[in-house]
Chain A
């Protein structure tokens, strides 16, 4: 079952759900016909889109709001903070084509600060699924949750069968004693391959799918820091404010010392292109990341 089929089934059974979009229907093409009046397209208006979702939530609805991640989180940022975040209304924001998933669209469409922005909003929770199966597993819990959420939409096929989802709990794929890879979103597949490649080098490697960025699974992250001398954070996001920042904040707060190799985009976007080309360009394919990890670990 894909995202659209799942969303159709869920929204049809509970009329509290309304689906909104600012004319971004790629993931929900067939919903308007099925959902009728509960599908609301506001046109290309991200700010009003958030206001309208807020008004609907005030009336007891649970709005599921679709927009391109970069326009939704950046253009409507103050609306999300002031209307949705401050009032703690159950608005679910689904940002499509985040990170590398914007492929050939170019810099205007590259959402590489959305995690940093959304996690800094009061009450807002953030879910970055590794693939479509992970996304649907998470949404089963997230849609009925009373908090506002930002979800990094991810329609990629799943390379593994995921464990059940719990808010604030990371999915530990493997534990290791030398290095642990922490990853969220579409880079999960590359991280999984990197994990296998490192294992072939006879290393003891851990792999964690972080899933909810906020609330973060402090317990698992702290445990990893005690288990392994090295942590690698992988994210298709700017270095500032994402997973690396979260790990750094957490470890400093708990007076933990650990080597962390952050693999992220540093201060600039990526060269537009069809996947997997941008991964090669930014040296974020599994093979390239393994090279960096081995180089860094051996040098130290």
Chain B
């Protein structure tokens, strides 16, 4: 079973991570990034958007979410929804590390005998809902959070959104409803890597000041470095930030994080990599 909320965060505890814990999280991130790069060699995938959220996913599943291999169908589990579905290589890589998924299956990427392709599929253990069409999973997460509240349960419902995805109006409809129903166990995590498919967000449809937009919609917002496990730990344990208000964590991240040749590149959204490139980029990961 997964640990209870109190055992993760003892009320009087020290919320900074130990050196060993940080090293362990970094090692997980490294493994996940390697899987992402390897999947990009088998028909390509959305590498830039996957690498930017690896650290967030690793933190959430390792330290925050009460989700484990044996509790995937438990109605008391926490829920995680990947709304930016094109980042699924990062999630599948993490599932392989966590043992939800046999790592061998990642080699079935785009093969007809499995469900592993460019966006999430519910047949993969741990995927709560399929995504790919943007602006869908926040409304769905609001529905799940509403039901948890109706039943008096304390599940936390986390949605990872892309920043470009915030152009979609359905997200803002969902924010209005989430604040109206005071869903303070709903947590929006925005992977603020500054890019949408073909352009920097601020060059196309500017989102800034993004934090003020969320605040104006009645959500409680915190901005963090989305690659700092220490900042994540200091932030997520405070949830709910304000009782009665839905939570938003704007995580400032780097597109292509971890592979300098891919970082901050407008042209590195979807990547089809050769075997040599994968080797080169894995070397870059080592630094």
Contact = CB atoms under 8 A, between A and B. Distances in A.
Given A59-B75, A82-B133, A52 B180 contact: no
A57 B140 CA distance: 10
Given A43-B176, A45-B173, A79-B170, A51 B139 contact: yes
A48 B180 contact: no
Interface in A52-91: 52-61, 78-79, 82-83, 86-87
Given A53-B143, A55-B141, 19 more contacts: A40-B146, A42-B177, A43-B176, A45-B173, A45-B174, A47-B169, A52-B139, A54-B139, A55-B143, A55-B144, A56-B146, A58-B128, A58-B143, A60-B75, A60-B147, A79-B136, A82-B130, A83-B136, A87-B130
B143 A51 contact: yes
Contacts of B54: none
Interface residues of B, number: 28
A58 B146 contact: no
B133 A38 contact: no
A79 B140 CA distance: 10
Interface residues of A, number: 28
Contacts of A42: 173, 177
A202 interface: no
28 contacts: A18-B150, A37-B150, A42-B177, A43-B173, A45-B177, A47-B170, A48-B139, A48-B177, A51-B138, A51-B140, A51-B142, A51-B170, A52-B139, A52-B140, A52-B146, A53-B143, A54-B143, A55-B140, A56-B144, A57-B143, A58-B143, A58-B144, A59-B75, A59-B144, A79-B170, A83-B140, A87-B122, A87-B129
**A contact patch SS:** helix
A87 B140 CA distance: 13
A58 B75 CA distance: 10
A54 B141 CA distance: 9
A50 interface: yes
Contacts of A55: 139-147
Interface of B: 75, 122, 128-130, 133, 135-148, 150, 169-170, 173-174, 176-177, 180
Contacts of B142: 48, 51-52, 55
A48 B133 contact: no
Contact of A56 (B138, B143, B177): B143
Contacts of B141: 55
Nearest to B81: A55
